[in-house]
Structure 1
Amino acid sequence: MIVSPRAALAGFFFACALTSATAAADLSAGREKAAQCATCHGLDGIATAPDAPNIAGDSRYYLKDQLEAFRSGRRQHQQMSIIAQGLSDEDIADLVAWYSAIEVTATMPQ
């Protein structure tokens, strides 16, 4: 696949903007804010509610996109749509910093 220089440059600036916004996030603030998410997602990002996904260690790009999608209405869920509407950009950055920083390991079955 051939990518035009203009598209490559746009992608580079998008990645830089996303990285700098996430880099400005506060990990400890994210942990505090995640306490409100713990009922469904667990403070450790391992879901406690049967219909909630595990989000521990997910990509910061994915987490940010999903929270923004719930906030804007682009993605719908009975509870998350309401919760996300109250999140500021700073809240999202902090939560993304916290949940994406959790290290997850997997053990293959024997």
Structure 2
Amino acid sequence: MRTLMLLTLFGFSLSLSAAPADISRGQVKAAMCAACHGATGISVLPDYPNLAGQKAGYLQQALKAYRDGQRQHQIMAPMAQGLTDQEIADIAAFFAAQQPAPAAKTEAVVGQ
């Protein structure tokens, strides 16, 4: 019983130590992403993905993988290298809160 109580208290203290993601802090930190991904996560360059409207969890996993060397990219790995977990959460929250790019229009409409 004592062990269970200690484990419960330990788990509770861990949940208190992580601050919630902050979109405003994320916007400031995401300024370094704008050259490739656009200021609001909509890239003007076809080789770089849009980040606006992506799920925060996906963005966090990707940034942590770049930072930790589990995912390789000559630009992204060094960019993510110095980010803390909190900064990654903030950046992910910012891009997740942005409106995604509108769907591309095609010349032919299906069925016409």
TM category, shorter: 0.7 to 0.9
Question: Of 43, 63, 68, which aligns to 2:64?
Answer: 68
Deviation readout 1:47-85 (Å, 9 max, x if unpaired): 133321111000111101100110111110001001111
Matched AA of 1:90: Q
Residue 27 (structure 2) pairs with residue 35 (structure 1): no
Q: Distance in 2 between matches of 1:51 and 1:77?
A: 13
Structure 1 residues 108, 85: closer, same or farther in 2, change over 3 A?
A: closer
TM-score normalised according to structure 1 size = 0.73
Deviation readout 1:19-52 (Å, 9 max, x if unpaired): xx5x701111111111111001111101133321
Alpha-carbon RMSD:
2.4
TM-score normalised according to structure 2 size = 0.72
Gapped regions of structure 1 (runs ≥ 5): 1-16
Query: Contact conserved, 1:39 with 1:49, CA < 8 A, in 2?
Result: no
Gapped regions of structure 2 (runs ≥ 5): 1-14
Structure 1 residues 62, 108: closer, same or farther in 2, change over 3 A?
A: same
- Give the structure with higher Rg (CA): 2
- Aligned-residue identity in percent: 48
After TM superposition, the runs of 4+ consecutive aligned structure 1 residues lying more than 4 A away are 107-110
Alignment coverage as a number of residue pairs:
92
> Counterparts of 1:1-110 in structure 2 under 5 Å?
24-104=20-100, 106-107=102-103, 109=105, 110=109
